[in-house]
A and B are shown apart, each in its own frame.
Chain A
Amino acid sequence: MKIEDVVCPFCGCLCDDLVVEVEGTRVVNVENGCTLANEKFMGDHRLKAPIRRAGNGWEAVSYDEAIEETAAILLDADRPLLYGWSGTYGEAQSVGVHLAELLGAVIDNTSTVCHGPSIMAIQEVGHPGCTLGQVKNRADVVVYWAANPIEAHPRHMSRYTTFCDGFFVKSAFRERKVVVVDVRETDSSQVADEFVKVNPGGDYAVLSALRAIVRGKRDLIPPSVEGVSREQLFRVADLCMSAKFGAIFFGVGLTMAQGKNKNIRNAIELTEELNRHTKFTISPMRGHWNVYGSNEVFTWITGYPYAVDFARGIAFYNPGETTSVDILRRGECDACLVVASDPGAHFPRACAEHLARIPTVQIDPHVNATTHLSRIQIPVAVTGIDAEGTAYRMDGVPIRTRRLFYGNYPDDLEVLEKIYRIVREARG
């Protein structure tokens, strides 16, 4: 059976034009997808049933037992951490937030090690952005800053920017200039009209230099700023100021490098200054599929996009304190529920060590690094393949994924609701 207009559940692009062929409970072919999509849909490496650690080995366990034990672990904890959420859909995230509320837990999503600093910057200066179609139809200048879309968001350039014609830009290839700013050459920098190579950690200074130029203070610019020549800075600034519609996309190269949220703040303020001359927008390249959805769901329920601490009864938010890496670094949480992400692989070693010390439970379809650190893993249906729900694209556009077939796994919502009911019964 061929299913059209399927939504890809891998990255923040949420491409919704895939054609997927299904035989029974197996995907046999994917059209229009990138390599990542193909691997995601065709991948057949799921954990077969719930597992529980038994001494120095593992044993199979029933879903009911795994769920009851998970609830017991959470109920027994003084300071549980509920982490992950980006790989699942909004309805499940919503139950997660209410579970955290009931437990007085900390709940955090993967933006904490992704675009968390972007959120902090947006909270300082705001965010002039737009939906991706606005860029596709209008932009004559696109800047990728500290982002490598060809590796991380493989169809971003062909669906929305470099290679994508739009209503007002009939021939993107000819009419649209692409600038790539990065500390290293990448596949993406090779397709750029202008590649700006910045010294590692130099982004803040380069952004400041561009702001100065946009403000008409060219005479302040030294011959070279963090490895970028004055001439190139002038050229890039002129290109941006003469654009009819410019769009900056930035990656975690800015959020993770020295300066972190201050880099993003500077980039947003550059965008704001450019708006005094022409139209400019800026957008984070959200990586892990529905991470933006987790920000949205957390926000409408708690008021904050991530790192929400319910320990005091109210929702409390203080990145740097209530963020997962910091809580784990301080050895503060005494139980952890991981849903749809892999902190074992993606957090610093010291955090992984604490996850191994405390009872950690993982709800995830696949064996990953966190599996080895956990006490229990509950496999679930893969969102976008055998589970459906709402996801938010990197630009905030909500799309409902399709369920391609009914498999044998329960989905995240079902498992989380069962845990919630047990906890609610106990906590009232």
Chain B
Amino acid sequence: MAGILIKNAFVIDPLSGIKGEVMDIAIKNGKIVEEEPPGAEVIDAGGCLTLPGGIDSHSHVCGTKVNFGRYMSPEDMRAGRTARKGVMHVTSGYSVPTTFGNSYRYSTMGYTTILEGAMAPLEARHTHEEFNATPHQDMLANTLFDGNWSIMEAVREKDIARAAAVVAWVLAAAKGFAIKLTNPGGTEAWGWGEDVQSIHDPVPRFGVTPAEIISTMIRANEILNLPHSVHLHCNNLGVPGNYQTTLDTIDLAPDLNSKRQSLYLTHVQFHSYGGSTWRDICSKSEDITRAVNNRPQVVMDMGQIMFGRTTTMTADGPMEFKLYMLHHNKWSNHDVELETGSGIIPVYYGRKSLVNCVMWSIGLELALLTRNPWQCLLSTDSPNGAPFVKYPEIIALLMSRRFRENERRMIDPRTEHFVPLFAIERELDWYEIAVMTRAAQAKALGITCIGKGYMAPGAEADVAIFPIMPDKVDPSVDFQQVMAGFSRTRYTIKRGRVVARDGEVVVEGANSTIWTKAHVPDAYDMSLDPEFQKKFEQYYTVRMSNYPVQDVYLPRGVRIDTEAQL
């Protein structure tokens, strides 16, 4: 490959300290390089906005529950379908697109890396199979530990080292990337049809609390030196008054790592509700952002909802049942032995629903009230708040107060009594958007070490060129142009290759799967531990030797090795 030279690019590259400069970018052998490679293909960016490839740090795109969302929803499959065209396969689905659908749509929006938000280790092989059918993004998997029996037993024994050892073994077995806790303790309780109501509620029959699980795992995570922090979906998702649980959780977070946060809170919009019922639900975004603004050790993503139809899916089984009791549409649930749970229901977020309008406002407020954009990342918890194709609209809302005022006239007029949104004047700028959609994700996930999220020489050549001229567009006024621009790149370049142009994918992809291997001393090798082996002998229904995901499922695996301090 001769390489590529991108000329006249309006570059914002926050991790490299570039805040908007017209410059050239040279690419060779999949990397950004100093010198123009001889014979390079020249792409004239013509002053267009050029950013590192987008990174989604929390999206549901691959695996058991995602596929079940498709399986149970032919109505959603019909709602977004394209025929085979050129190198592009057939796609189906609007809120839960098929794997190729996800990959093409993300790619045409400039995204080159995606973290799947929840993977049950027992079913990890499924996630990896779908990763291989999502060819245009490098993939990472959050690995679920919220109801893991071995973890809860270690927590009960106050044995952080053992918890770390369990994490190390399971991550390596599942080829997972990071620790995910979804409603910690709650998913185990749901095995009996129960839930936990606060971070100090004991988990039935295990005698540990969510707070103990969270605290232990934060420390185990640092013992293992994992690239990412604990990735937490707090308890009490979607419950009026749950902001107190979220604040209590934030209080648990120590500051243990100088390079990144020690706790990542996901889809915080769903966890920022005041009031006590659906009638008096109100925004507590100010309380939440005040706490986050005071704690650099915490990073969150928005979990923005957008109006329209979507599908909710999460490992938080009890929450989905509660939601089903409100919506009475259709409900799927899938508990995973010794590990976690999951649930799926379709929903419709309406402008005429006051509750939905409050939720919509809260997500935007979180982004606008968090002072440091590195601490609040753009997400919809796709597809829970909205499918990811809504990101450009969210960007436009964050950049334009006028756009927000337009929306204000279309939503339930009572909304403003329950939310501070319309008093907020802040309009985010290009730099802040670049932070919130790629640079901060790379930093929070800890993947700058493998060249993700920036465009300095040595970095992976993942680049997105948008048909937006930052010096000619006033996002505050031209929000339609902002939306259109972020919806379709002129060029998406992945590892040095143009993969999408003007809304069409132009090559067959070959992604990588990024996973973490924490090396532990032999004394902490759980595969040799009799108690751990007993879990497989007696309680799992899959043999220990058949449990780990074989290498064949990661044809282009990228392993991040860490040394545990044990």
Enumerate chain A interface residues (CB-CB to B < 8 A). 4-5, 7, 16-17, 90, 94, 98, 101-102, 119, 122-134, 136-138, 159-160, 165-168, 244-245, 272, 275, 278-279, 281, 295-296, 299-305, 310, 312-315, 317, 390, 392, 396-400
**Closest partner residue, chain A, to B321 (CB atom):** A275
Does A166 contact B546, Cβ atoms closer than 8 Å?
no
CB of B543 closer than 8 Å to a CB of A: yes
Taking the closest CB of chain A, its distance from the CB of B186, in whole angstroms, is 14
Name B123-180 residues within 8 Å CB distance of A. Answer: 123, 125-126, 129-130, 133, 149
Residues of A within 8 A of B149 (CB): 167
Asked, given contacts A134-B191, A275-B193, whether A301 binds B542 with beta carbons under 8 Å apart, the answer is no
Taking the closest CB of chain B, its distance from the CB of A171, in whole angstroms, is 13
Does A317 contact B100, Cβ atoms closer than 8 Å?
no
Taking the closest CB of chain A, its distance from the CB of B20, in whole angstroms, is 40
* Stretch touching chain A among B70-78, B368-376, B389-397, B410-418: B70-78
Does B83 contact A313, Cβ atoms closer than 8 Å?
yes
Beyond contacts A122-B72, A133-B338, A299-B71: 12 other A-B pairs, Cβ-Cβ < 8 A, are A127-B333, A127-B334, A136-B541, A160-B541, A166-B539, A167-B538, A275-B193, A279-B193, A296-B67, A300-B70, A303-B97, A396-B126
Taking the closest CB of chain A, its distance from the CB of B529, in whole angstroms, is 17
Does A138 contact B541, Cβ atoms closer than 8 Å?
no
Residues of B within 8 A of A315 (CB): 77, 81, 90, 92
Q: What would 19 A/B residue contacts be, using CB atoms closer than 8 Å?
A: A16-B542, A90-B129, A98-B89, A126-B330, A127-B333, A127-B334, A129-B332, A131-B541, A133-B539, A134-B335, A137-B539, A165-B538, A279-B190, A296-B67, A300-B98, A304-B77, A312-B83, A396-B123, A398-B126
- Cα–Cα, bound, A319→B179 (Å): 41
Does A313 contact B84, Cβ atoms closer than 8 Å?
yes
CB of B93 closer than 8 Å to a CB of A: yes
- Name the 8 nearest CB pairs between A and B, nearest first: A133-B337, A303-B92, A313-B83, A303-B77, A279-B193, A126-B330, A130-B335, A398-B125
Interface size classification for chain B = 35 or more
Residues of A within 8 A of B257 (CB): none
Asked, given contacts A122-B71, A299-B71, whether A131 binds B546 with beta carbons under 8 Å apart, the answer is no
**Closest partner residue, chain A, to B344 (CB atom):** A126
Taking the closest CB of chain B, its distance from the CB of A168, in whole angstroms, is 7
CB of B331 closer than 8 Å to a CB of A: yes
Asked, given contacts A303-B70, A400-B125, whether A124 binds B330 with beta carbons under 8 Å apart, the answer is yes
Residues of A within 8 A of B337 (CB): 130-134, 136-137
Does A301 contact B71, Cβ atoms closer than 8 Å?
no
**Closest partner residue, chain B, to A165 (CB atom):** B538
Interface string of B91-114 (1 = CB under 8 A from A): 111000111110000000000000
- Cα–Cα, bound, A267→B552 (Å): 39
**Closest partner residue, chain B, to A295 (CB atom):** B71
Does B122 contact A397, Cβ atoms closer than 8 Å?
yes
Does A101 contact B333, Cβ atoms closer than 8 Å?
no
Residues of A within 8 A of B126 (CB): 296, 392, 396, 398
Interface string of B322-352 (1 = CB under 8 A from A): 0000000011111111100000110000000
**Closest partner residue, chain B, to A138 (CB atom):** B191
- Cα–Cα, bound, A244→B64 (Å): 26
Asked, given contacts A245-B192, A396-B123, whether A168 binds B205 with beta carbons under 8 Å apart, the answer is yes
CB of B82 closer than 8 Å to a CB of A: yes
Residues of B within 8 A of A245 (CB): 191-193
- Cα–Cα, bound, A358→B472 (Å): 64
Does A129 contact B333, Cβ atoms closer than 8 Å?
yes
CB of B258 closer than 8 Å to a CB of A: no
Select which of B74, B100, B205, B330 is within 8 A of A304 by beta carbon. Answer: B74
**Closest partner residue, chain A, to B102 (CB atom):** A300
- Cα–Cα, bound, A125→B336 (Å): 21
Asked, given contacts A101-B84, A123-B74, A124-B330, whether A300 binds B546 with beta carbons under 8 Å apart, the answer is no
- Cα–Cα, bound, A357→B71 (Å): 34
Residues of B within 8 A of A134 (CB): 191, 335-337
- Cα–Cα, bound, A400→B125 (Å): 8
Does A131 contact B335, Cβ atoms closer than 8 Å?
yes
CB of B550 closer than 8 Å to a CB of A: yes
Does A128 contact B331, Cβ atoms closer than 8 Å?
yes
- Cα–Cα, bound, A126→B337 (Å): 20
Interface string of B114-125 (1 = CB under 8 A from A): 000000001101
Does B542 contact A397, Cβ atoms closer than 8 Å?
yes
Asked, given contacts A129-B334, A396-B334, whether A300 binds B81 with beta carbons under 8 Å apart, the answer is no
Does B321 contact A7, Cβ atoms closer than 8 Å?
no
CB of B545 closer than 8 Å to a CB of A: yes
**Closest partner residue, chain A, to B341 (CB atom):** A130
Residues of B within 8 A of A295 (CB): 71
Residues of A within 8 A of B430 (CB): none
Residues of A within 8 A of B133 (CB): 94, 300-301
Residues of A within 8 A of B72 (CB): 122-123, 126-127
Does B129 contact A302, Cβ atoms closer than 8 Å?
no
Residues of B within 8 A of A138 (CB): 191-192
Residues of A within 8 A of B539 (CB): 133, 136-137, 166-167
- Cα–Cα, bound, A131→B335 (Å): 6
Residues of A within 8 A of B97 (CB): 303
Does B71 contact A281, Cβ atoms closer than 8 Å?
no
**Closest partner residue, chain B, to A305 (CB atom):** B71
Does A313 contact B191, Cβ atoms closer than 8 Å?
no
Does B74 contact A314, Cβ atoms closer than 8 Å?
no
**Closest partner residue, chain A, to B66 (CB atom):** A300
**Closest partner residue, chain B, to A319 (CB atom):** B74
Taking the closest CB of chain B, its distance from the CB of A417, in whole angstroms, is 15
Does B541 contact A132, Cβ atoms closer than 8 Å?
yes
Taking the closest CB of chain B, its distance from the CB of A170, in whole angstroms, is 11
Asked, given contacts A272-B331, A301-B99, whether A5 binds B543 with beta carbons under 8 Å apart, the answer is yes
Residues of A within 8 A of B71 (CB): 119, 122-123, 295-296, 299, 305
CB of B540 closer than 8 Å to a CB of A: yes
- Cα–Cα, bound, A208→B317 (Å): 26
Taking the closest CB of chain B, its distance from the CB of A11, in whole angstroms, is 14
Taking the closest CB of chain A, its distance from the CB of B532, in whole angstroms, is 14
Residues of B within 8 A of A131 (CB): 122, 334-337, 541
- Cα–Cα, bound, A315→B76 (Å): 13
Residues of B within 8 A of A125 (CB): 330-331
Taking the closest CB of chain B, its distance from the CB of A321, in whole angstroms, is 13
- Cα–Cα, bound, A400→B149 (Å): 24
**Closest partner residue, chain A, to B194 (CB atom):** A279
Most buried by A among B133, B335, B541: B541
